[in-house]
Amino acid sequence: MAKEASNGSTKPPPTPSPLRNAKFFQANMRILVTGGAGFIGSHLVDRLMENEKNEVIVADNYFTGSKDNLKKWIGHPRFELIRHDVTEPLLVEVDQIYHLACPASPIFYKYNPVKTIKTNVIGTLNMLGLAKRVGARILLTSTSEVYGDPLVHPQNESYWGNVNPIGVRSCYDEGKRVAETLMFDYHRQHGIEIRIARIFNTYGPRMNIDDGRVVSNFIAQALRGESLTVQSPGTQTRSFCYVSDMVDGLIRLMEGENTGPINIGNPGEFTMLELAETVKELINPSVEIIMVENTPDDPRQRKPDITKAKELLGWEPKIKLRDGLPLMEDDFRTRLGVPKK
Ligand SMILES: NC(=O)c1ccc[n+]([C@@H]2O[C@H](COP(=O)([O-])OP(=O)(O)OC[C@H]3O[C@@H](n4cnc5c(N)ncnc54)[C@H](O)[C@@H]3O)[C@@H](O)[C@H]2O)c1
Ligand SMILES: O=c1ccn([C@@H]2O[C@H](COP(=O)(O)OP(=O)(O)O[C@H]3OC[C@@H](O)[C@H](O)[C@H]3O)[C@@H](O)[C@H]2O)c(=O)[nH]1
């Protein structure tokens, strides 16, 4: 039985899928990745597919993801790709569910806020229903946004957050908070094996070029010779985790004994002005840095306390921002057709 972070009675988990014990299927672990055609999801799929005992099913509606991110696996006998919207029920036989489906860039999650909240609430209910039916373990990719505009710094998992319930970001941050509640209620009421990761800003190759998030914006702008748009005041901070470190943390959480929530992120903290200066220095020293208007409720500071991840998962990030940015630059150069001079 997984160790639980909060109080409450816990029923034993339902019997695992009979497939786990079936004579001919015993060897393989069937893993569903919702949102697996997206940025983090497709890197997670790559890592899961490296294990020959894993069969991976991706369910994605391609809102912000793309088949292109998974092209090397299409047609592979241990891989299956389903066009599916998680706001509809899904009937598959699996042992583990990594539930990532949800637009993550503020531009995309604000585009259709009602759909975003449906994805977080109905989508998570559907995946928990599936986990309950087949006895699968389920991991939710929650977010540092559950801490809102935090009054505690750095943020540890016992902080309840400072979130505007009626703002333009609420479809996402309140949606994820309800998703976490649903996870714990299914765990306490039905004994479902749950894992919750609170992911902090993650970057790396394969982010959409026009994703709208800060690292992809600055790298694309630097390569196109455009000004880097720092949203005012520029003193707001974020902590950036390279995607391979993130995937490692998610798999450790899934395979470990703790429900979470556990912060997964890189504690290296930067202001957005510092980030712009670093991108300028590393990629294109001739571009300008300009200040543009910000959006409402932008969190002013964010840095994970990763004590729990270190102690419970034996995990900590390995890749520093200065080492990760050039890896992302190479991928963006290839996709934008901008060769290195
Ligand atoms: N990248 C980050 O910095 C970050 C930080 C915190 C949390 N997260 C969480 O991690 C997960 C993945 O984020 P990402 O950065 O890879 O984002 P992404 O936008 O690249 O990927 C999300 C994927 O989910 C799919 N999707 C969206 N709505 C769906 C729906 N209703 N049904 C089926 N598929 C749907 C998209 O098409 C896409 O493939 C998300 O749950 C996000 O909230 C990411
Ligand atoms: O071009 C830009 C874009 C963004 N920014 C700033 O950069 C900071 C980070 O913005 P992003 O849009 O990358 O991401 P945010 O940190 O606001 O939200 C993210 O948080 C964690 C995840 O859950 C999501 O991936 C996303 O919601 C903000 O302060 C924003 O104002 C710029 O200065 N310039």
* pLDDT at residue 8, rounded to an integer: 55
Question: How many structural domains comprise the chain?
Answer: 1
Contact residues of ligand 2, CB 6 A cut-off: 104, 106, 143-145, 201, 213-214, 217, 229-231, 236, 238, 272, 294, 298
* pLDDT at residue 18, rounded to an integer: 65
Mean of per-residue pLDDT scores for the chain: 94
How far apart are the C-alpha atoms of 141 and 69, rounded to whole Å?
Answer: 19
Gap from CA of 101 to ligand 1 centroid (Å):
5
Strand residue runs (E) in 61-114? 79-83, 96-99
**Pocket test residue of 140, 231, 237, 263 for ligand 2, highest count of atoms within 8 A of CB:** 231
150-208 pLDDT, tens digit per residue, is 999 999 999 999 999 999 999 999 999 999 999 999 999 999 999 999 999 999 999 99
Whether 172 is a known active-site residue: answer yes
Let me know if residue 162 belongs to a domain: yes
Confidence of residue 43 (pLDDT cuts 50, 70, 90): very high
Give every CB contact of residue 13 below 8 A, 6+ residues apart in sequence: 1, 135, 191, 192, 193
Confidence of residue 140 (pLDDT cuts 50, 70, 90): very high
State pTM to two decimals.
0.94
Copy the structure tokens of residue 53: 């005992």
How far apart are the C-alpha atoms of 134 and 132, rounded to whole Å?
Answer: 6
Gap from CA of 103 to ligand 1 centroid (Å):
4
Q: Which atom of ligand 2 is nearest to the CA of 172?
A: 27
> Any idea what the CATH number is for the domain that residue 26 is in?
3.40.50.720
* pLDDT at residue 1, rounded to an integer: 47
Q: How, if at all, do strands 96-99 and 137-143 pair?
A: parallel
Query: In sequence order, what DSSP letters do the residues of 195-252 get, joined into one string?
Result: EEEEE--EE-TT--TT--SHHHHHHHHHHHTPPEEEETTS--EEE-EEHHHHHHHHHH
Let me know if residue 236 belongs to a domain: no
Among the listed residues 98, 109, 172, 186, the single catalytic one is: 172
The domain of 39 spans 18-203+242-264
CA distances from 216 to 12, 203, 205, 328 (A): 44, 8, 9, 9
Q: Which atom of ligand 1 is nearest to the CA of 108?
A: 19
ipTM field: 0.98
* Cβ contact 138:194 at 8 Å: yes
According to the 3-state scheme, what is the secondary structure of 38-71?
Answer: CHHHHHHHHHHHCCCCEEEEEEECCCCCCHHHHC
* Cβ contact 66:210 at 8 Å: no
How far apart are the C-alpha atoms of 101 and 114, rounded to whole Å?
Answer: 15
